[in-house]
Amino acid sequence: MKTVGYIRVSTSEQVDNGISLDNQRHKIEAFAELKDLDLIEVISDEGCSGKNLKREGISRIISLIEHKEADAVIVYKLDRISRKTKDLLYLFEDVFNKHKTNFYSLNENIDTTTAQGKFFLTLMGAMAQMERDLISERTADALTELKRQSRRLGNPDKAPFGFKQTKRKKAMLADLKPIQKELDVIRNIYRMRARKHSLASIGEKHGMAKSTIKYLLDNPIYRELGVISFS
């Protein structure tokens, strides 16, 4: 099993908490040897905060997984990846689970090759699904309110990406019906933009032109309907 380790430390942590990069590396190497894992690389983010995922090391891990060059990831502690639950949810749901990547966190004793570890990831995935369901409920509630207000579509001949129209003539905003797969794309576009990805890189990821990405980001309907309220 091709495995990558990930280590991170900020300057203050290295001084105050004793979790140096070398310490993390040694523990990961020892664990990989114990489990007979093929540790192909230990990726390091030195002096980087865990407040978001905009780090070269995390980007490299995601790339290796997406290109099927890594089957497992080891970290010393869960917060080495991120201190934010929503970022962990994204990695577990959209990267690890999606690409069937095993995950180990030494400090929390998380091992997704075990029943307990699989349950942990299932729980994280359920939390992500609950967030999507809550957004869908908010979208439905917003459409109901718009129906009450009888508001017209800005362009009655074309529904915005993520929705379909139930009628054309004198179409109202309340005549829009969500298309869940497209709304998932919209949410991912806003998520990537919030993490400072360029319009070009977001477009490349989703097979869209840069101008299309900008149009979607500037369209107020997604905020109005609660589609991207998570951001």
* Residues belonging to the active site: 10
Cα→Cα distances 79→50, 86, 111, 172, 202, Å: 7, 12, 16, 46, 26
Query: What residue has token string 């609660």?
Result: 226
Helix (H) or strand (E) run with residue 23 in it: helix 21-34
Question: Which SS3 state, helix, strand or coil, does residue 217 take?
Answer: helix
Q: DSSP letter for 68, please.
A: T
How far apart, in whole angstroms, are the C-alpha atoms of residue 51 and residue 48?
9
How far apart, in whole angstroms, are the C-alpha atoms of residue 50 and residue 46?
11
How far apart, in whole angstroms, are the C-alpha atoms of residue 69 and residue 29?
19
How far apart, in whole angstroms, are the C-alpha atoms of residue 164 and residue 202?
23
For residue 176, report the phi and psi dihedrals to the nearest 5 degrees: -80, 140
